[in-house]
Structure 1
Amino acid sequence: VGPSDVVRPLRLEEIADRNLSGAMAPPELIGGSSAAQCDAGHAVAALDAIALREKACDGDAEVADKKPRLAEGKGRSRGAVLLRAVERVFPLLAMCSIPLMLALVAVSCLAPVDVNLALMQFSSADKAQALTPALVDFQCEISRPLMMLLRGRESARTLYSQTFAPLWASRALLSARGHACYFGFVLLQFVLQLALPGRVALGETTPAGHRWPYKMNGLLALMVTAALFVLATFALDLFSPAIYYEHFFGAFAAANELAAAAVALCYFKAWFAPSTQVPGGPKTTADVKWSGSVFADLYKGVELNTRLFGGRFDVKMFVIARVGMIGWAMVNLSALLAQQRASNSTGTASLAMMLINVLQLVYVVDLLAREEWYLSTIDIMTDRCGFYLLYGGAVFVPVAYCLQSMWLIRHADVELSATRAAAIALLFTVSYGAFLDSNWQRTQFRRDYVALGPARTTVGLLGNRVLRSSAPPKLVRASWRAADGRSRATVLLADGYWRLARHINYTADLGMCFAFGLCSGRAPLADALPWFYFVFMLVLLTHRALRDERRMRDKYGRAYDAYTAQVPYVMLPGVW
């Protein structure tokens, strides 16, 4: 028995393994008797004694562990208790309030069109005539119904009688065409995801050590979807090109139904059949995380990657990239065609509508063309498969992200001068270029640093090139321990774009969102709906930056403190 064996006590499982293999337990673990004097019976007795001792120690530790928790609980402030209660209730409030708020936005924007069509389709002439005057056209001014909702009970009742009551009576939410439009689109994306060819890329390593395969055929799926849409609407005349706008509430209801079904599927799958094993890899549950609260688990999700069909199909990636992003582009196209169809004088869409379609299509095409890059984002690497992401991809993106184009249908008189349109396009191009370049710079730096050495790393403002530099780039070395127990190392870039701010890519993203809002022709924040996307992304990215800061500080510790000393600003250089 060497000194190392004496210093490191063996685990109970190791002792059992040694005895099962014919080896005796070390003397220091068997009351000081020599290995030659121990037979199998003595070894078993020693194991029993050790087990009882460990159990007693565990019990003492458990009791000792409970005491500080009780003391801590007694000393908690009312603010901490209130914050904890809010954290527990927030998921339930969010899951209930977000659909209602989106419905209110939709009513203020689209109700007169969709509800009147439904009234004519489902209701008798007398009933339609009685309900139609009660339906108020808010002309996309969401502030009016919101103020009515906040003024008191009577105003809320008036708002209900002018909006939701006619909506329920019209049965627009049950529109068969609206449901067929949405579910047909989702089914098409599901078939294209599995049937179309595409390169298989591996995602980033999860805390459990998994690298899941992803099929990269999103751009091809978008092209096929657009071609089939044009063929079905113009060549075969199967439905109106403005079907989404004309049957919005039916599609909106279908999207909520799909999101609810997806959340339930992911929750119960995590309970009964979690995705714990990459094909050909080890089996582990480190990527499955329960919070102890049903509402929190439904809202945030349990599994990091919910996989179906033997791990070949990723639910989260499908809902976000296929249903959400491709749906965003198709809704914008439908809005453009709806405005063109409604324009009796010129028969063409406005410059503002065409500009918002082009800019947002570039954004969507870029993500689908670089799906492999998206695998390294916080959505895929950190966020779990729950209401937060699934409702966002299935409902929020096709509704809230398209509010600019929907608003422009009702405001066809908005015209942009060629000079203003060029300025908006320039702002988008600069922001878009900085967004791409900064992300590519960081990705290339991480990939090439070990292979190429510090003399050939990405340090310039052209992040898509591996530049030669006489001086090593500014960086911070960091390490962390993954869930599988292994220690991993990385480097944090503090040069190039990333010397300006720690989340400079978020700042560039907000520049693109600001350009989208300017396409409405309204002053910044002068009208709620066309600027909703910018405000939403501002809140989302600010919250995400703060969450990233907390996560990175917990992950890297002192190394991240050294990094923040070199790069002091979070998002806005010189300000914050």
Structure 2
Amino acid sequence: MAKNPKGDALNPRTTTYEFLGPPGALLISIGVPVMTYALYFGCSETSGGCPPPLSLVPDRILEAVSSKDWWTGLWDTEAAVIYLAWYAFCVVAWAVLPGDWVEGVQMRTGEKKKYKINAFSTFLLALGVTSGYIWRNGPESFTFIYQKWVGFVTASLVMSVVQGLVVYIASFRQGALLALGGNSGNPIYDFYIGRELNPSIGSFDVKSFNELRPGLILWVLVNISMICEQAVRRGGLANVTDSMWLVLAFQTWYVADGLYNEPAIFTTMDITTDGFGFMLAVGDLTWVPFVYSLQARYLVFKPMELGALCATGILALNLLGYYIFRDANGEKNDFRNGRNPKNLQYFTTEKGSKLLTSGWWGRSRHPNYFGDILMALAWSLPTGFDTPITYFYVIYFSVLLIHRQRRDDENCEKKYGKDWETYKKLVPYRIIPYIY
């Protein structure tokens, strides 16, 4: 860990806020759990619709929050124990499964942190254990995630809060390297945004572990549980709808691709710039597995057969999005590693940095985000058009990516100065070529 006898030189005080400062951080810290529960209680078998009639919503909310039984019903001890066992499984898999150690980007201290690469192996092990369990005990044995949904959400939220508090308190130890954006001195804001850059226990990096393992892999297991629930209701796996299989295939492939290309994450803003606090903890552990799986959960109680033509069209859209996403990231990673197989053009800044101006990165400054948005739309289309709620993911994800793009542009403007204005003239579109 970095030694910092002068303190402020290496860990300067944060002077600007994001997310509207402490009030915004507090609202989001409360709003994310509320929204996660709302997406369940507002779109489930027992809600009376997806969403229920709006005239009934105020009375239902008032009745729920004033009921002791409703509050106690958010907790499920069995679900909490299962969730804790799942998290422990991921930690043990990180420790015992073989994996290469790779270096991340250089930090302000001049050091390069090393990360163990075995997320994909953990994913395969989890899928193997899950498949064997279902094969031996039948689909009905793996419906417990659907049946205990609220309990699992609560357990993941408790884990997120505990981790956020622990890493915030630990960040005050001597020698901790803080995130440039998380050292404001305001406890509400710093707890939310993340005060320490890379909280670790020995060689175990908490941030990158949470980013790729417990929540991301659980997302796929949640979807498998939704398939099992639908199979039980429809008389077997052979009767699972094509829409459900598409959602599982799309999202499993997306997760597998991210885990297989694990080293690419170490150059992202989450790892290089953001501290680890409640924002990343709740995003990784609660939001990803229990919000991103909304389409599969909806299809349990609203099964839909698409037919060959619609399924093929949705598949083509997902493949197009994936191609743009992967090819754009491939161009960037090759270029960062000193390779340029496509002979792409680039702009050299006064500081010597090179910015791509052709290929996908000549079409927009974030073409990978465009691919992400197309895939997100393809994941929602299998649910049909009876409700806008199943399109929450693509709307939210688009807003998130636009916010990330703006954060990245602000950082690049500070880093490159007038060269960034020149670059923006060469590549004027932010995400979607010729549109935005």
Q: Same fold (TM over 0.5)?
A: yes
Residue in structure 1 matched with residue 189 of structure 2 by the alignment: 296
- Report if aligned partners of 2:102, 2:263 keep a CA contact under 8 Å in 1: yes
Within 2, Cα distance between the matches of 1:267 and 1:246? 34
Q: Which amino acid aligns with 1:318?
A: F
- Report if aligned partners of 2:223, 2:296 keep a CA contact under 8 Å in 1: yes
Deviation at 1:287, TM superposition (A): 6.4
Match of 2:61 among 151, 159, 180: 159
Q: Which amino acid aligns with 1:427?
A: L
Within 2, Cα distance between the matches of 1:407 and 1:521? 11
Deviation at 1:232, TM superposition (A): 3.4
Deviation at 1:264, TM superposition (A): 0.5
Within 1, Cα distance between the matches of 2:92 and 2:408? 35
Q: How does 1:114-133 map to 2 (within 5 A)?
A: none
Deviation at 1:230, TM superposition (A): 2.9
Residue in structure 2 matched with residue 95 of structure 1 by the alignment: 29
Deviations for 1:171-192, whole angstroms, at most 9, x for unmatched residues? 4322222112211111111110
Q: How does 1:305-384 map to 2 (within 5 A)?
A: 305-308=198-201, 310=202, 312-344=203-235, 348-384=239-275
1:267 aligned onto 2:161: no
Kindly tell me: are residues 171 and 229 of structure 1, through their superposed partners in 2, closer, same or farther at Cα, counting changes over 3 Å? farther
Q: Which amino acid aligns with 1:191?
A: V
- Report if aligned partners of 2:182, 2:193 keep a CA contact under 8 Å in 1: no
User: What SS does the corresponding residue of 1:531 show, helix, strand or coil?
Assistant: helix
Match of 1:188 among 89, 92, 108: 89
User: What SS does the corresponding residue of 1:492 show, helix, strand or coil?
Assistant: strand
Deviation at 1:238, TM superposition (A): 12
Residue in structure 2 matched with residue 210 of structure 1 by the alignment: 111
Deviations for 1:93-135, whole angstroms, at most 9, x for unmatched residues? 11112211211221123473xxxxxxxxxxxxxxxxxxxxxxx
1:198 aligned onto 2:99: yes
1:421 aligned onto 2:311: yes
Q: Which amino acid aligns with 1:97?
A: G
Deviation at 1:322, TM superposition (A): 0.4
Deviations for 1:519-545, whole angstroms, at most 9, x for unmatched residues? 1122xxx62321111011011001111
Kindly tell me: are residues 539 and 169 of structure 1, through their superposed partners in 2, closer, same or farther at Cα, counting changes over 3 Å? closer
User: What SS does the corresponding residue of 1:527 show, helix, strand or coil?
Assistant: coil
Residue in structure 1 matched with residue 296 of structure 2 by the alignment: 405
Q: Which amino acid aligns with 1:93?
A: L
Within 2, Cα distance between the matches of 1:374 and 1:190? 19
Q: How does 1:239-250 map to 2 (within 5 A)?
A: 240-250=141-151
Within 1, Cα distance between the matches of 2:325 and 2:244? 24
Residue in structure 1 matched with residue 4 of structure 2 by the alignment: none
Larger mean Cα displacement after TM superposition, 174-183 or 546-555 = 174-183
Kindly tell me: are residues 367 and 105 of structure 1, through their superposed partners in 2, closer, same or farther at Cα, counting changes over 3 Å? same
Match of 1:439 among 305, 308, 329: 329
Kindly tell me: are residues 170 and 316 of structure 1, through their superposed partners in 2, closer, same or farther at Cα, counting changes over 3 Å? closer
Q: How does 1:487-526 map to 2 (within 5 A)?
A: 489-522=352-385
Kindly tell me: are residues 274 and 407 of structure 1, through their superposed partners in 2, closer, same or farther at Cα, counting changes over 3 Å? farther
- Report if aligned partners of 1:288, 1:303 keep a CA contact under 8 Å in 2: no
Kindly tell me: are residues 253 and 562 of structure 1, through their superposed partners in 2, closer, same or farther at Cα, counting changes over 3 Å? same
Within 1, Cα distance between the matches of 2:301 and 2:174? 48
- Report if aligned partners of 1:479, 1:490 keep a CA contact under 8 Å in 2: yes
Deviations for 1:45-103, whole angstroms, at most 9, x for unmatched residues? xxxxxxxxxxxxxxxxxxxxxxxxxxxxxxxxxxx9xx999523111111112211211
Kindly tell me: are residues 274 and 351 of structure 1, through their superposed partners in 2, closer, same or farther at Cα, counting changes over 3 Å? farther
User: What SS does the corresponding residue of 1:203 show, helix, strand or coil?
Assistant: strand
Within 1, Cα distance between the matches of 2:430 and 2:171? 35
1:540 aligned onto 2:411: no
Q: Which amino acid aligns with 1:429?
A: L
Deviation at 1:477, TM superposition (A): 1.4
Match of 1:569 among 421, 429, 432: 429
CA RMSD between the two structures: 2.5
Kindly tell me: are residues 140 and 300 of structure 1, through their superposed partners in 2, closer, same or farther at Cα, counting changes over 3 Å? same
Match of 1:141 among 47, 51, 66: 51
Residue in structure 1 matched with residue 347 of structure 2 by the alignment: 476
Residue identity (%): 26
Kindly tell me: are residues 221 and 527 of structure 1, through their superposed partners in 2, closer, same or farther at Cα, counting changes over 3 Å? same
- Greater relative contact order structure (CA < 8 Å, 6+ sep): 2
Q: Which amino acid aligns with 1:496?
A: G
Kindly tell me: are residues 344 and 274 of structure 1, through their superposed partners in 2, closer, same or farther at Cα, counting changes over 3 Å? farther
Residue in structure 2 matched with residue 550 of structure 1 by the alignment: 410
User: What SS does the corresponding residue of 2:102 show, helix, strand or coil?
Assistant: strand
Say which one has the larger Rg.
1
- Report if aligned partners of 1:208, 1:287 keep a CA contact under 8 Å in 2: no
- Report if aligned partners of 1:476, 1:563 keep a CA contact under 8 Å in 2: yes
TM-score after normalising by structure 1: 0.69
Q: Which runs of 5+ in 2 are unaligned?
A: 1-15
Deviation at 1:502, TM superposition (A): 0.9
Within 1, Cα distance between the matches of 2:207 and 2:415? 24
Within 2, Cα distance between the matches of 1:148 and 1:556? 54
Deviation at 1:241, TM superposition (A): 0.6
Deviation at 1:382, TM superposition (A): 1.8
Kindly tell me: are residues 440 and 479 of structure 1, through their superposed partners in 2, closer, same or farther at Cα, counting changes over 3 Å? farther
- Report if aligned partners of 1:288, 1:304 keep a CA contact under 8 Å in 2: no
Deviation at 1:503, TM superposition (A): 1.1
- Report if aligned partners of 2:362, 2:427 keep a CA contact under 8 Å in 1: yes
Residue in structure 2 matched with residue 17 of structure 1 by the alignment: none
Deviations for 1:375-403, whole angstroms, at most 9, x for unmatched residues? 11122122210111111001001111000
Within 2, Cα distance between the matches of 1:332 and 1:211? 37
- Report if aligned partners of 1:232, 1:239 keep a CA contact under 8 Å in 2: no
Within 2, Cα distance between the matches of 1:217 and 1:374? 13
Within 2, Cα distance between the matches of 1:274 and 1:234? 50
Residue in structure 2 matched with residue 485 of structure 1 by the alignment: none
Within 2, Cα distance between the matches of 1:187 and 1:405? 26
Within 2, Cα distance between the matches of 1:299 and 1:208? 24
Residue in structure 2 matched with residue 390 of structure 1 by the alignment: 281
Q: Which amino acid aligns with 1:378?
A: M
- Report if aligned partners of 1:502, 1:570 keep a CA contact under 8 Å in 2: yes
